[in-house]
Amino acid sequence: MCDGIDLAAINASFSTFQTPVAAQYAVNAIRRGYERGILRGSIQNDPICARITGYDPGNPLDVTLRMSIDAIAYCAEHMPRWHSTVVNTYILREAGTDAVQEMAFGLAVAFYYLTLARDRGVPIDASAPRFAIIAGLHNDFFEEIAKLRATRRVWAKYLSETLHAQDERSKAVTISVHTCGSTLPAQQPVNNITRSAIQALAAVLGGCRGLDLSCYDEPFNIPSEEAATVALRTHALLQHESGIARVADPLGGSYYVEELTDRIEERIWTVLGQIEEAGGIREAYDSGWIQQEIDLSASKLEDGIDSSEIPVVGKNCFNDDDTIDDLLPTGLTYSDPNIEQLEWLRSYKARRDRGALRDALQALVDAARKREPNVFEAMMAAMDAGATTGEVTGAVRVAYGEPFDPVGMIEAPVELR
Amino acid sequence: MTGHHENIKAVVAKIGLDGHYRGVKFVARTLADQGLEVVYLGANQTVEDVVDATVQEDARLVALSFLSPDYRQHVPELLGALAAAGVTDVVVVVGGLIADNDRPTLERAGVRGIFGPATTAADIGRFLDDAFPVVTAPGA
């Protein structure tokens, strides 16, 4: 995937929860002669939000948390320019949380990872500067701006007062924004271009450090080339034509935005307090409380749209002209399975040195059985011996007493004890 | 105004690895609001899970949500497994992201309703009225 690309010149963002992907990237970079310390980029490495939103049903949290926290420890020591963790509050929002829950749940998750890493011997000032958040951006313009501003305040206070960070970089969290696909209805999809542009404007005014837009065909499809290009051009005209990126925090001092920021901050602290009372984020998730809160908020929003109390232009109001529905092509087709890739993977697996693969995967199982060794390092060694991301996860699962494959379709490539 | 459908059980599920559960929860809630008794299995179910639940609960409606092309495999499998289990009178519907060119195949295979991303609660209500007419006693 990275053939012909100078890895020293790029920032590679992996929009995946699979922690081993970061190990695989590092292994390939080292093979190509790069120092691991210069690698820039990010991986989501956020098993709790993945689990809450249904992205990772097969792996128990003990397994994924071990890989995640060890990745944080490894990156803090050896890959200091790499963002080891990007907490994904975007998917919490898309699952149905409101703005306050989105950030409160996400912050509780981030603080939990930082605490686990600290307990594993990683100083806060070694891990926190390489944490980031990817947030959603929903319809309520000023509430969303206030949400981003309040999140940075809560982060700074918690890092400073509770986790005792000293480094200023630990206290300033980077927030990227992905505009919420769930706000884009299937009715009159041309309006989604305008919607995403307004949301992106809020993201910039709220101080996002990275931004991408959901596309007008989001309700139907993986973005078409045309829809993705329109989203990129919207981004470009905000950045280059409008001049809004010229100054940081342009709404700072506005009586309305400051007041709203105060209120949202207070509400985020309240929810953080509720999570603490529930015994922490892990317990709040395990008990079903988080899921229940998400479902209640989702229902409230859906009921509001259904009763037209919450206006959605083209869907529950201004919906008398359906010619606008067909202004843009939005049909859905699926591509056929990529047989070539499957064949490549088969031949890749067949070419491996089975002895070396067995030794490295067994060493990973042995490392994961003990608390001390860093499994991220053992994962890298296994991948250097040819193991895939799925196989290293399988090996860690075996160490935790789980079957190699959660759905029982794949055998381990070598016998693991 | 759509009718109220009591004494009808619906099995609501997602089959396969696709975890996007928000839509299927909306459907489950909408069916419950219309008076149906909903057996919500949630995401990551197998064809066998859905067949077992349908038989055990004597469900008259099976509603499946897919935000991936996995329906191409799982829906024909399910219809075959239901027939093999002797279930012939159940209404099977699918929703989510179903490609236009797959619709005829699904309909020919026996899927009674296909619901895309523009579906509203009212659309679901109209479908239920048609599939499960509410019998009103004469003179009532």
Please give the ipTM for the structure prediction.
0.89
Categorize the per-residue pLDDT at B1 as very low, low, confident or very high, splitting at 50, 70 and 90. very low
- Please tell me if residue B20 touches chain A, with a CB cutoff of 8 Å: yes
State pTM to two decimals: 0.95
Q: How far apart are the first and last CA of chain B?
A: 18
* Distance (Å, whole) CA A224 – CA A338: 18
Collapsing DSSP states into helix, strand and coil, what is residue B63? strand
User: DSSP letters along A62-97, please?
Assistant: HHHHHHHHHHHHHHHHH-TTEE-EEEEHHHHHHHT-
Q: In a mutagenesis test of the B interface, which of A221, A224, A306, A316 is the best target, namely the one with the most B β-carbons within 10 Å?
A: A306
Q: Are the Cβ atoms of A302 and B117 closer than 8 angstroms? A: no
Categorize the per-residue pLDDT at B72 as very low, low, confident or very high, splitting at 50, 70 and 90. very high
Collapsing DSSP states into helix, strand and coil, what is residue A263? helix
pLDDT tens by residue, chain A, 417 residues: 788 899 999 999 998 889 999 999 999 999 999 999 999 999 999 999 999 998 888 899 999 999 999 999 999 999 999 999 999 999 999 999 999 999 999 999 999 999 999 999 999 999 999 999 999 999 999 999 999 999 999 999 999 999 999 999 999 999 999 999 999 999 999 999 999 999 999 999 999 999 999 999 999 988 999 999 999 999 999 999 999 999 999 999 999 999 999 999 999 999 999 999 999 999 999 999 999 999 999 999 999 999 999 999 999 999 988 788 888 888 788 888 889 999 999 999 999 999 999 999 999 999 999 999 999 999 999 999 999 999 999 999 999 999 999 888 889 999 999
Q: Could you give the dihedral angle defined by the CA atoms of residues A216, A219, A222 and A225, in that order, rounded to the nearest 10 degrees? A: -20
| Structure-token match 């120092």, residue found | A35
CA angle A351–A353–A354, rounded 5-degree value: 105
Cα dihedral across residues A288, A289, A294, A300: positive or negative: positive
Secondary structure (H, E, C), A186-237: CCCCCHHHHHHHHHHHHHHHCCCCEEECCCCCCCCCCCCHHHHHHHHHHHHH
Cα dihedral across residues A179, A181, A187, A193: positive or negative: positive
- Residue B112 burial class via C-beta count within 10 angstroms: exposed 0-12, middle 13-18, buried 19 and up: middle
Q: Which amino acid is at B121?
A: A
Q: Are the Cβ atoms of A96 and B22 closer than 8 angstroms? A: yes
* Distance (Å, whole) CA A204 – CA A241: 14
Categorize the per-residue pLDDT at B5 as very low, low, confident or very high, splitting at 50, 70 and 90. confident
| Structure-token match 């749940």, residue found | A105
Instruction: Compute the nearest-CA separation of B95 from chain A (Å).
Output: 12
- Please tell me if residue B99 touches chain A, with a CB cutoff of 8 Å: yes
| Structure-token match 């890739």, residue found | A341
* Distance (Å, whole) CA A184 – CA A381: 44
- Please tell me if residue B32 touches chain A, with a CB cutoff of 8 Å: no
Q: Is the distance from CB of B67 to CB of B97 less than 8 angstroms? A: yes
Q: In what order do the strands lie in the sheet with B91-96?
A: B37-45, B9-15, B61-66, B91-96, B113-115
